[in-house]
């Protein structure tokens, strides 16, 4: 992960925290007006759902990058083995009596 992505992630999390705090303040202040309070509580629930969904996507993306890296490493090891075996076959064919 590069610095730009880290900065964007940090900004995302800071914005999410700020939004959650603002909604919590509004919910606390809206206890008198039940309709407004219900709407804010629904908004609070929806924001939490969105944040967890995005976090889940980020986790799956990070896991996919790790799996891709491991698969590339395995592919490279296999290619090296193929090259070694090809050289061995060529040597055997060349030195056969």
| SS3 readout for the chain | CCHHHHHHHHHHHHHHHHHHHHHHHHHHHCCCCHHHHHHHHHHHHHHHHHHHHHHHHHHHHHHHHHHHHHHHHHHHHHHHHHHHHHHHHHHHHHCCC
Non-local (6+) Cβ contacts of 12 within 8 A are 54
pTM greater than 0.85 (yes/no):
no
**Which tens digits make up the pLDDT trace of 39-67?**
888 888 898 899 899 989 989 999 999 99
Q: How far is Cα 74 from Cα 47, in angstroms, rounded to an integer?
A: 41
Domain span at residue 89 reads 3-94
Task: Say yes or no to pLDDT of 2 above 80.
Answer: no
Instruction: Give the residue-averaged pLDDT of 7-18.
Output: 87
User: Residue 87 has which token pair?
Assistant: 């050289």
Asked if 43 contacts 27 with a C-beta cutoff of 8 angstroms, the reply is no
13 or 82, which is more confident?
A: 82
Q: How many domains is the chain partitioned into structurally?
A: 1
């Amino acid at each position: 992960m590069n610095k730009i992505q880290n900065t964007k992630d940090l900004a995302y999390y800071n914005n999410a925290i700020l939004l959650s705090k603002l909604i919590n303040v509004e919910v606390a202040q809206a206890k008198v007006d039940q309709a407004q309070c219900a709407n804010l509580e629904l908004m609070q629930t929806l924001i939490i759902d969105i944040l967890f969904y995005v976090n889940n996507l980020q986790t799956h993306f990070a896991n996919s990058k790790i799996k891709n890296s491991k698969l590339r490493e395995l592919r490279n090891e296999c290619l090296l083995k193929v090259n070694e075996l090809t050289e061995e076959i060529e040597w055997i064919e060349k030195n056969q009596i």
